[in-house]
Amino acid sequence: MKPHFRRPAGQRRYKRMFVIVAEGTVTEQEYFQLLNNESIIHIKCLRNRTNLNPKDALLRVREHISKESLRKTDEAWVVVDRDSWAKEHLAALHSWAQSRSNYGFALSNPKFEFWLLLHFEDAKGVVTSEQCSKQLTKHLPDYNKHVDARKFTDERIKAATERAKKRDNPSCTDWPRNTGTTVYKLVEKILESGKK
C-alpha cells in the first residue's frame, strides 16, 4: 500500500488548491501546469493512463475527494471535450458541479484544442474537430499534443479568456451546445487566486 502523504503540522500551505481531472492524458495536464504557482495556488492534475470518458472522469474526481478532503477554499474541476459523449454523462457532470460551490465543470466543444486556438485568434468559422486542428497548426506548426510554454504567454491566456467569454454570451447554464468552451471559467478562477 502506498504511504499517505501528510504535510508536517505548522508548515505553511499554499492558499488555494485546484484539483483537476481532465479527459486527456497530455495536453490538458501540461496546459494547467503552466498556471501553477505553488507559493499562492497549487494545481493538481490527476494523471490518467488513458483518455477518460465523462463518467470515468467524474468517478476519478469523486474518489480523490473522498481520500483527500478539500478545504473550503480549494476547488475540484472536471475538464472534458464535447466529442460524442451522451448528454446523460454531461448532465451528470453538470449536476455534480452544481452540488457544491467549490466544484466545477468545464467543457470544450468540439475539443480542448479549441481553447488553445483562442489564445491566437477568435476562431470564427471553426466548427469541427478537423477545422480546429487545421487552424491550430497555423499558429503551432509542430503541435503534437504537447504544450510549448513559450507560446502561451500571460497576454495570450488573457486574450483566450476574453475571446471565450465573448463567445459564451449569454453565458451557458450547463455546457456549450455550439462551438465554444467554458475552460475560461476555470482559468479565470486560477488567475484571480494567483493575484491574492
In a domain? residue 170:
yes
In a domain? residue 27:
yes
In a domain? residue 6:
no
| C-beta of residue 49 within 8 angstroms of C-beta of residue 83 | no
In a domain? residue 162:
yes
Neighbours of 134 (CB within 10 A): 11
Side chain identity, residue 152: F
In a domain? residue 7:
no
In a domain? residue 52:
yes
In a domain? residue 25:
yes
In a domain? residue 104:
yes
| C-beta of residue 105 within 8 angstroms of C-beta of residue 78 | yes
Share above pLDDT 90 across residues of the chain, in percent, rounded to a whole number: 63
Task: Write the DSSP assignment of 147-179 as a string of letters.
Answer: --GGGS-HHHHHHHHHHHHHHS-SPPSS--SSS
Q: Which domain, by its residues, includes 38?
A: 16-195
Overall domain count for the chain: 1
For residues 134 and 81, what is the distance between their CA atoms, to the nearest angstrom? 17
What sign results for the dihedral spanned by CA atoms 129, 49, 139, 104? positive
Render pLDDT for 45-89 as a digit per residue (tens, 0 to 9).
887 778 888 888 999 999 999 998 889 999 999 999 998 788 899
Q: How far, in Å, are 41, 108, 112 from residue 81 at the CA level?
A: 25, 5, 6
Mean pLDDT, rounded, of the chain: 88
Instruction: Report residue 114 as a C-alpha cell.
Output: 479549441
**pTM for this structure?**
0.88
By residue count, the chain amounts to 196
Q: How confident is the model at residue 2 (pLDDT cuts 50, 70, 90)?
A: very low
